[in-house]
Amino acid sequence: MKFTVISPEIYTYGAMLIGGILKDKGYDVSIKNKLSARPKDTVMMSLYSTLHLRSPILKEFIEDHRKKGGQVFIGGPVSAYPEIVLGELSPDAVLTGEGEGSILKLVESGISKDVPGLSYYDENGEIIINTPAVPASMKRPVPLIPTDIAKQDIRGASAYIETHRGCTGTCTFCQVPRYFGRGIRSRDLEDILKEVREFKKRGAKRLSVSGGTGSLYNYKDGHIDEDAFVSLLKGMAEIMGSKNISSPDIRVDCISDKVLDAIRDYSIGWVFFGLESGSNNVLKHMGKGASAEDASKAVLACREHGLKVAGSFIVGHPYETEEDYQATKDFIAEHCLDDCFVSIAEPIPKTPLADLVLKTPMDENPTYIPHTGEYRSLKLTESEARSFDLQMHADMYKPNLHVITDQIFNAYLAGVRKDGNDVRNATELLFKYYG
Ligand code: SF4
């Protein structure tokens, strides 16, 4: 049996992991970040964006591959809503949850009720959803690392190494705690470092720590394990060099002096906070579990430790009022963040935000309401206008001089239009299946 593992556009860690498990069992496996496979291969596709489900090119590839006699199975984050995946893309089956726990069972048994987490159509056209897979073991073979991993650049990193799974957070827009659970399962440090060495050997230039919040590594009994986090970053830096390690996402309430010192000493020296909003009203509705005041203290603490701070913000939450949005602008003006990422609230199926969006009439959803203010000539929606405005506003307050040239203006405009379209696409999919 021959396999092609595909994750479109980027080699995801999950795809490499599945490839590694199959390779370890002696199968002939290739890994690709584009839609191509040997005609009779079994394709294991790892999809990480709801937008993949609306891609005609992806649908055509799957149809074509199945016509040629190959099978296509889909896993990854989108597998959390198998009915949409089956309805939109028509693969042979969807492997829901932590696929590495049941992939070998699937290979051995084929499409059957014996494979935990598998969803498929039966002979009557009814969707069968097997019992969920149990959380997978954190012991696993080395991932299948593609030969061109050096060319990959995801926010500056060749790959995101999984150090632990789960998140203690309850953010209503996020899939992580719903997919991996709120308990933290951490990998052994030695296993992680062995993998880092392997990535380096294969040409990876910079590695990043993945997982909802880096410092939750080895989290136990309600406490972060600062020493474990220090050893993790130190160990990775000794292999890759500290300038080639980043520890991207972290919660404002999961830092300490030791954690921040480790980020300064053993990584590129940036902290990335999911700040989301400067309004406590919105933060409460987002289930963030941290206030704007907590965020403020965290930013100041990072500066005291000599770190650069980037923040991500979400605009267009159904509960975000004009005053809430202004509070976000005020937060940015006060803290002069070194970098900012802005996105429009995307209702990922089966999250509380998706439930809220389903209950919100379209004419009250900022992602559909036409903007009538300052940017009305650009014909944006309210969410798009806020995203556009916030990016330019954040640029103005960055510590270094930033000039909004025509080129930057147009790039932001194109970006928010695309983001708005993508979120409306995701919303329409949501209404089609659950509305
Ligand atoms: S802290 Fe981050 S990973 Fe955890 S639930 Fe919130 S957004 Fe998701």
In a domain, 140, yes or no: no
Measured in angstroms, how far is the CA atom of residue 182 from the centroid of ligand 1?
10
Cβ-based burial of 128 (10 A; exposed 0-12, middle 13-18, buried ≥19): middle
Measured in angstroms, how far is the CA atom of residue 287 from the centroid of ligand 1?
10
Q: Measured between alpha carbons, how far is 170 from 111 in angstroms, rounded to an integer?
A: 34
Residues in contact with ligand 1 by the CB-under-6-Å rule are 167, 169, 171, 174, 176-177, 212-213, 251, 274
Residue 371 and residue 241 share a domain: yes
User: pLDDT exceeding 70 applies to what percent of the chain?
Assistant: 100
Ligand 1 atom with least separation from CA of 177? 5
Residue 287 and residue 255 share a domain: yes
User: Domain with 43 in it: what CATH number?
Assistant: 3.40.50.280
Residue 154 and residue 125 share a domain: no
- Domain end: 129, 163, 181, which one? 129
Interval 74-90: pLDDT, tens: 999 999 999 999 999 99
Residue 266 and residue 209 share a domain: yes
Q: Which of 251, 276, 288, 350 to mutate to test the pocket of ligand 1 (most atoms within 8 A of CB)?
A: 251
Residue 67 and residue 170 share a domain: no
How is the beta sheet containing 207-209 ordered, strand by strand? 159-161, 207-209, 245-246
Residue 396 and residue 257 share a domain: yes
In a domain, 346, yes or no: yes
Task: Give the domain range for residue 160.
Answer: 149-434
Residue 176 and residue 66 share a domain: no
Which residues are 339's β-sheet partners? 310
DSSP annotation of 49 reads -
Q: Which of 163, 173, 174 to mutate to test the pocket of ligand 1 (most atoms within 8 A of CB)?
A: 174
Nearest Cα residue to atom 6 of ligand 1: 171
Q: Which of 165, 171, 271, 353 to mutate to test the pocket of ligand 1 (most atoms within 8 A of CB)?
A: 171
Interval 215-261: pLDDT, tens: 999 999 899 999 999 999 999 999 999 999 998 789 999 999 999 99
Q: Measured between alpha carbons, how far is 229 from 248 in angstroms, rounded to an integer?
A: 13
Which DSSP string do the residues of 238-304 spell out, in sequence order?
HHH-GGGEE--EE-TTS--HHHHHHHHHHSSSEEEEEEE-S-HHHHHHTT-SS-HHHHHHHHHHHHH
Measured in angstroms, how far is the CA atom of residue 174 from the centroid of ligand 1?
6
In a domain, 144, yes or no: no
Residue 191 and residue 93 share a domain: no
Measured in angstroms, how far is the CA atom of residue 312 from the centroid of ligand 1?
12
Residue 211 has pLDDT above 90, yes or no: no
Q: Round the average pLDDT of the chain to a whole number and report it.
A: 95
Nearest Cα residue to atom 8 of ligand 1: 174
In a domain, 135, yes or no: no
CB-CB neighbours of 190 under 10 Å: 9
Total domains in the fold of the chain: 2
Q: What is the pLDDT of residue 36?
A: 95
In a domain, 194, yes or no: yes
Q: Measured between alpha carbons, how far is 296 from 152 in angstroms, rounded to an integer?
A: 34
CA 261 to chain centre: 26
Residue 315 and residue 232 share a domain: yes
Q: CB-based contacts of 429: which residues, under 8 Å, 6+ apart?
A: 50, 53, 54, 84, 88, 349
In a domain, 91, yes or no: yes
Residue 407 and residue 272 share a domain: yes
How far separated are the first and last CA of the chain, in Å rounded?
Answer: 41
Residue 49 has pLDDT above 90, yes or no: yes
Residue 160 and residue 93 share a domain: no
For the segment 22-34, the average pLDDT, to the nearest whole number, is 97
Residue 402 and residue 288 share a domain: yes
- Reading the block at residue 187, the tokens are 């990998």
User: Domain with 316 in it: what CATH number?
Assistant: 3.80.30.20
- Domain end: 95, 129, 163, which one? 129
